[in-house]
Structure 1
């Protein structure tokens, strides 16, 4: 990500916080290790009771309300190409959480396009981070308007490397691998090195089509079946979904990068009792 875009994000964060448009959700976190894979479970801080109301607002699904037509100007970073805008997440759990929103309405179940991937790559080309997508309500999406998402690399955040470090590191670009410890249908693809946003976006698009075919999804289906995809500068994964939650624990794409979120601290015990891998398997397609 260019310094200019990073500065725009930080200026917008400051402006939105001063205006009261940004309503971060304060969390505490605890680690859980499962089959040699490190997970982080975030939970809403008991010291910030008002954040419980923010969580409810963040996940509320109102078919008559579209927060992206238009997006709040206090939260809007600006253009990301001709077809997308960068918009801050109003209720961030992770700092600098960015939404990449189509300017015109498209459904969250619509196929992802070349333009979508190039907009995401515009953010990721220089500074990496993690891009992800919740393909429909059953995959964890709370808004119907198409939006990809991005979070920066930071200690304790979701990272594909929690899983990919156990994959063959000499896997050629474009080749498919599966993780032996993951009991849900998935695939990982290695991405080629790319020097600019357009080539990175096109590489992501090609990898996505190939990954969808590998897990039995038609990448051009309208509407798409529920799925999550996650991408770093090096790897991409696609996971078909069957439902949004298990034992009242909601799971979105970040769960498949090792980051789970619960509303109450007692739900940490639920996650621990089920086990993160079994929890994820319960909302995905069996392998």
Structure 2
């Protein structure tokens, strides 16, 4: 589609909320400071509802059907429109925030197959209009819930995840494709300076983000295996930086960590899980699921 993406997302969201196809965000939150950085931890009851749906009796095409793929033939009530020739924009049925968007491939490809230029062009289309944060969950251990290849996007808004969290520990005058590490992150990771965000042309941003992804993969030795698939990893893109980190496991104390958590906003399914994060601090919880 062409035109204003935010208007299209808002129109589709209003319709899906009215019909019940979009599950509204229900969250309580608290703030924590760790390593001089501010984190938000949210208890999102709609995530618990999502788990409950998964436990339903299996029905054809239902959540426990191994052939079920919500991205191959996306729900029209949640579909915003095509993004380029290879992707479709879909509202996340269980959003972590308002305007939470999935950019899924139109044809099936494994989620752990390496991202390519067209994946970054799709993100650049949305980010060029509205900024925000691009996200990728590579594999189950990285928080991916679907095998069908997709990236995600969330807008810049108070309380939403952002790479601005790390700005004080990163070089301010770094040239594009400069590699950096952050002193507060104990797990294996890599920042790469990229050109992306509001106002950056799609071709320019897509090329820069793709080059940054390849540089980060090389720095972290994240090469595809014999099956052509990457090891588990997360990717975040925003505010002129790419952050990539390999993953060792999905959960810390039963709390699922996906890419969005490494942007400073952590999500729990149950209120008492907030205490588990508070007991060690967000940085140690993040390190526990890294490498």
Alignment of 1:1-287 (within 5 A): 4-44=4-44, 52-57=48-53, 63-192=66-195, 195-218=200-223, 222-285=228-291
Cα gap change, 1:141/1:61 in structure 2, threshold over 3 Å: closer, same or farther?
farther
The CA distance in 1 between the partners of 2:214 and 2:80, in whole Å, is 29
**How far off its partner does 1:255 sit?**
1.3
The CA distance in 2 between the partners of 1:201 and 1:101, in whole Å, is 16
Give me the TM-score of the superposition, normalised by structure 2: 0.91
**How far off its partner does 1:24 sit?**
2.0
* Other structure's SS at 1:73 match: coil
Residue-pair matches, total: 280
Q: Which moved more, 1:259-268 or 1:145-154?
A: 259-268
Cα gap change, 1:96/1:58 in structure 2, threshold over 3 Å: closer, same or farther?
farther
The CA distance in 2 between the partners of 1:202 and 1:175, in whole Å, is 15
Cα gap change, 1:183/1:218 in structure 2, threshold over 3 Å: closer, same or farther?
same
Kept after mapping to 2: 8 A contact 1:113/1:205: yes
**How far off its partner does 1:233 sit?**
4.1
**How far off its partner does 1:3 sit?**
5.9
CA deviation vs aligned residue, 1:170-207 (integer Å, no higher than 9, x gap): 11111101011110111111113673112111110001
> CA RMSD for the aligned pairs?
2.0
Aligned to 2:60: none
Cα gap change, 1:153/1:275 in structure 2, threshold over 3 Å: closer, same or farther?
same
Cα gap change, 1:153/1:55 in structure 2, threshold over 3 Å: closer, same or farther?
farther
Kept after mapping to 2: 8 A contact 1:41/1:261: yes
CA deviation vs aligned residue, 1:84-115 (integer Å, no higher than 9, x gap): 00000001120000000000011111111111
The CA distance in 2 between the partners of 1:164 and 1:268, in whole Å, is 25
Cα gap change, 1:259/1:76 in structure 2, threshold over 3 Å: closer, same or farther?
same
* Other structure's SS at 2:77 match: helix
Give unpaired runs (5+ residues) of structure 2: 56-62
The CA distance in 1 between the partners of 2:222 and 2:135, in whole Å, is 17
Kept after mapping to 2: 8 A contact 1:189/1:237: yes
* Other structure's SS at 1:206 match: helix
Kept after mapping to 2: 8 A contact 1:99/1:148: yes
Give unpaired runs (5+ residues) of structure 1: none
CA deviation vs aligned residue, 1:110-132 (integer Å, no higher than 9, x gap): 11111111011111012210001
Kept after mapping to 1: 8 A contact 2:6/2:130: no
* Other structure's SS at 1:10 match: helix
